[in-house]
Structure 1
Amino acid sequence: MAFSKVKRRNKIRRRIRQSISGTESKPRLSVFRSNKEIYAQLIDDVSGKTIAAASSRDKGVSDKGTKSEVATAVGKAIAEKAKEAGVEVISFDRSGYLYHGRVKSLAEGAREGGLKF
């Protein structure tokens, strides 16, 4: 029997998380995507703390435009928050989503904001 879409993504996510881990100097940029919104967090896995977070629900992020344009704005917002926290280099965790569409737009926005993957 075939996996459902969510079970397939969780299986991929667990496999990715075995190799990607965030530290204080190089945190993990974790992405969560729902049908309407997109969320990003910078996570220090060693201490178990979130350094910074941004989402499409934040007031500073533009609500107008396509979902991909909003994802790019979220990427730029997380990059600004990372700079304030003193972070420049990150590990990108796509959380089992394909590197395509909104996830790719968020990553490109973070790169434009000055983060290095």
Structure 2
Amino acid sequence: MKFSPRVLLRLKNKNKRLRPDKYKRLKREGLRGSVKGTVERPRLSVYRSNENIYAQIIDDTTANTLVSCSTLDRDIRLDVKNGRTCDASRLMGQKLAKLSLKQNITKIVFDRGPYLYHGRIKALADGARAGGLQF
């Protein structure tokens, strides 16, 4: 049985024979789409929790993390009181851009993951753009 991802998601409510982890994987792949990082344009992956936000610049061809940053870093924690604000995300985006420019990374592909491009995710992207990264 070969179904498209959209058909499989529709079948979820009708047919419980398919495993739940398959739906989770389909949702992740559908949201991410064809966003893959290369040597020339690595992928900026974002994870958002309730308290903090984390970001990594990843080269998918070799599966290496080139640069990582979070609101738990000492430089950012000294500037902001709370890690769940848009200001903290913007500062983190600027710091991530500064770290990546030291490694000669200027062009990236933005991977928002399953999160909407809104709020803290958008603030991180704006901070990275202000720091000098090109999406």
TM-score by length of 2: 0.76
Q: Does 1:70 align with 2:88?
A: yes
Q: Compared with structure 1, are the counterparts of its residues 45 and 115 closer, same or farther at alpha carbon in structure 2 (3 Å cutoff)? A: same
What one-letter code is carried by the residue in structure 2 that aligns with 1:100?
H
Return the structure number with greater relative CO, CA threshold 8 A, min gap 6: 1
Q: Which has the greater radius of gyration?
A: 2
1:103 to 121, 126, 131: 121
Unaligned runs of 5+ in 1: 2-7
| Residues 10, 96 of structure 1: 8 Å contact kept | no
Q: Which whole-Å CA distance do the structure 1 matches of 2:35 and 2:89 have between them?
A: 22
SS at match of 2:74: coil
Q: What is the match of residue 52 of structure 1?
A: 67
Q: Equivalences for 1:1-117 in 2 at 5 Å?
A: 11-61=26-76, 62-64=79-81, 67-117=85-135
Identity score, percent: 41
Question: Matched residue pairs, number?
Answer: 112
How much has 1:16 moved relative to structure 2?
3.7
**Alignment match, 2:9:** none
RMSD of aligned residue pairs (Cα, Å): 2.0
Check the 8 A contact 2:89/2:121 in 1, yes or no: yes
Higher helix content, 1 or 2: 2
Name the SS for the 1:41 alignment partner.
strand
Superposition deviation, residue 9 in structure 1: 8.3
Unaligned runs of 5+ in 2: 1-12, 14-22
Question: Which AA in structure 2 matches 1:70?
Answer: A
Using a 3 Å threshold, how does the CA distance of structure 1 residues 11 and 108 change in structure 2: closer, same or farther?
A: farther
Tell me by how many angstroms 1:83 deviates: 0.1
User: Which deviates more, 80-89 or 18-27?
Assistant: 18-27
State the TM-score, normalized to the length of structure 1. Answer: 0.87
